[in-house]
Structure 1
Amino acid sequence: MSTFDPAALECLAAIVEEGGFERAARRLSITQSAVSQRLRALEAQVGTVLIVRSRPLRPTAAGHLLLKHTRQLRLLRADLERDLSELAPSMAGGNREDERISIAINADSIATWALPALGELARQGLPLEVITDDQDFTDEWLREGQVLGCVTTLRQALRGCKVAALGAMEYLAIATPDYLQARCPRGLTPHNFRELPFIAFNRKDDMQAEFVARAFGLRRVGLRQLFVPSSEGQVRAVLAGWGVSVVPELLVRGLLEQGQLVDALPGHRLSIQLYWHCWNLQSEVLDALTGALRSTAAAVLGPS
């Protein structure tokens, strides 16, 4: 098998990750012409096109394979950096920006427990890139080789990956006391939920509908929805009187205790099981990520 030039592989990754040749050139501190030359040389070596020149740019099937290989090489280099820093700190080079360790985590976990879990690794210098998506879609990033691990609701291990249960995140419906008193003084019921706007993360987010469906034993639920692509933003929208939202109890515990928010459907919670998937490789970096996420999740989330 041919040996691929690491600089050309990182060039391919930069084009995809940055979304274009010009931005890739700036990231790599080379000219745009040099970016094109490296990509053409790599495509000539592989014998096929690696990038579809569309808007946005996207990798071909062969491009995806080489991107995954590039990220595995980054992981090996990160492992080496950790080992060198322990044996001889003066020998360990600094992590380059183009060697980021990418993982996908759902927005609600980022807003509550995941960043504290990763804090020590970030302070140690691990070049993390955290990509956010809905918890039902983070696994797609891992399937495509764009990240080396993800927090997701998927229970079964993906091909070539290992999986660990993290725990359950509890969701509840929230509103301000004034809003609830004005719109539905008895709280959410099967008769009034369709009249209220629900604030969702984005159009892929089915948390609001799933919560209502389970609460009232309904098979299908149609909701009036507003979209705010941030977990914290959803809470701020509720505080501003936009409507009702279903969010993690962890995120609003303090606001509930202070009386700024109230439980719109007391006694009902939706429990969402979370899992950590990562490549099935021997890697100190992967082990450190797995350990950090699992230990914090065990202390914060409900039992699996």
Structure 2
Amino acid sequence: MKDLDSAGLDCLAALADERSFERAAQRLSVTQSAVSQRLRSLEAQVGQLLVVRSRPLRLTEPGKVLLRFARQLQALRSDVARELGARALPNERIAIAVNADSLATWVLPALDELVRRGVGLELVVDDQDFTHDWLRQGEVLGCVSTVRQALRGCELRPLGVMRYIAVASPEFLARELPDGLSAANFAQTPFLVFNRKDDSQVQWVAKAFGLRSPRLNERYVPSSEGLVRAACMGWGIGVVPELQVRALLAGGELTALRPEISVDVALYWHQWKLMTEALATPGRVALLDQIGEALARGARAALQLEPEFSERPKKRPERQAGAVER
């Protein structure tokens, strides 16, 4: 199974991104027949089915294994091209997964310089305990995640702690909670929730009132920015990043409930190890490493730090993700 066909691997990556033969062919500037032939050739090389021809198509487990290799090969090619002074192709990009709250606060400023330099990035958004699944399946080369252990073949870098607090508009508090939020009335009070993976509100209520599994009156707003706006409009209580609402708190548009109570979420950067050291000239850093360093700098400037972040956690075998946060 040596000497895997690079054209077939590029087709596999394009199919994973586009989820159809037609769009994959358009992306690669070839015919659908060429995509099919290259995929069949790659499947013949490995002796296994790599793609389920459904609508939308999906990768098999062997296909996901090869997708990881294809992504890393593409990143290596980009680094070699940069070393040789060649321009990257228009459709070449590095995909990373981030959580919505990080994207809404500190990630874009952290990556701004790289993007201005012409680095092709694709940002995939998911809840921060689920971004790790994108990395495991080979869909992305790096992710911001709450998972503390590195996958085999990956590097792990602590970023910092995202602090979540409960906020609501003064008008909402006066209308719905004139006597304040308490263990007696929280179940009837609307809480704004990002999606069904998000349990930051449940964690905050459990911590505030010493409860184990509180049930909430939930209103779903599947956008970090939209959820904060809904809180300002008086739709309910939101448990949101303190970083995101500092100006709104200072301006009186939002009020913090029980400000001594917070949900602190530790974030980590995970990336695949790419064998670029032997290819790079002294003093130059591989592109994926540059992305990781940019995110680490941005996180240091924006996020909270805890003592455990003074030393990098040891790498251990992968475990199941724990509680889900945005």
TM-score range, shorter chain: over 0.9
Question: 5 Å matches for 1:10-159?
Answer: 10-85=10-85, 92-97=86-91, 99-159=92-152
Provide the residue aligned with 2:212 in structure 1.
219
- 1:185 partner letter: P
Tell me the distance in 2 between the aligned counterparts of 1:83 and 1:34. 31
- 2:293 partner letter: G
State the Cα distance separating 1:224 from its structure 2 match.
Answer: 1.5
Query: Between Structure 1 and Structure 2, how many residues are aligned?
Result: 297
Q: Which of 264, 277, 283 is the equivalent residue of 1:271?
A: 264
CA contact (8 A) 1:200 1:228 kept: yes
Question: 5 Å matches for 1:278-289?
Answer: 278-283=271-276, 284-289=286-291
**CA offsets per residue over residues 56-101 of structure 1, 9 Å max, x none?**
321112211211111011111221233234xxxxxx123331x321
Name whichever of 173-182 and 266-275 sits farther off: 266-275
Provide the residue aligned with 1:88 in structure 2.
none
State the Cα distance separating 1:39 from its structure 2 match.
Answer: 1.4
State the Cα distance separating 1:282 from its structure 2 match.
Answer: 4.2
Tell me the distance in 2 between the aligned counterparts of 1:53 and 1:221. 43
Unaligned runs of 5+ in 2: 277-285, 307-326
- 1:293 partner letter: L
Taking a change above 3 Å as real, the CA distance of residues 127 and 196 of structure 1, as seen in their structure-2 partners, is: same
Provide the residue aligned with 2:169 in structure 1.
176
SS of equivalent to 2:84: helix
- 2:48 partner letter: T
Unaligned runs of 5+ in 1: 86-91
Tell me the distance in 2 between the aligned counterparts of 1:186 and 1:34. 69
CA contact (8 A) 1:198 1:223 kept: yes
Tell me the TM-score normalised to structure 1 length.
0.93
Tell me the distance in 1 between the aligned counterparts of 2:67 and 2:132. 17
CA contact (8 A) 1:187 1:265 kept: no
Question: 5 Å matches for 1:249-268?
Answer: 249-268=242-261
State the Cα distance separating 1:174 from its structure 2 match.
Answer: 1.2
SS of equivalent to 1:102: strand
State the Cα distance separating 1:268 from its structure 2 match.
Answer: 1.6
**CA offsets per residue over residues 85-123 of structure 1, 9 Å max, x none?**
4xxxxxx123331x3211111110000001111111111
CA contact (8 A) 2:16 2:139 kept: no
Tell me the distance in 2 between the aligned counterparts of 1:235 and 1:121. 28
Deviant stretches of 4+, over 4 Å: none
Name whichever of 110-119 and 31-40 sits farther off: 31-40
Tell me the TM-score normalised to structure 2 length.
0.87
Say whether residues 1:292 and 2:294 are aligned partners: yes
SS of equivalent to 1:203: coil
Name whichever of 35-44 and 171-180 sits farther off: 35-44
CA contact (8 A) 1:9 1:67 kept: yes
Say whether residues 1:302 and 2:297 are aligned partners: no
**CA offsets per residue over residues 224-243 of structure 1, 9 Å max, x none?**
21222210011112122221
Name whichever of 30-39 and 255-264 sits farther off: 30-39
Provide the residue aligned with 2:282 in structure 1.
none
CA contact (8 A) 2:160 2:300 kept: yes
Tell me the distance in 2 between the aligned counterparts of 1:217 and 1:248. 22
> Among the aligned pairs, what percent are the same residue?
56
**CA offsets per residue over residues 121-174 of structure 1, 9 Å max, x none?**
111121111111111111111111211111111112222211111111111111
RMSD: 1.5
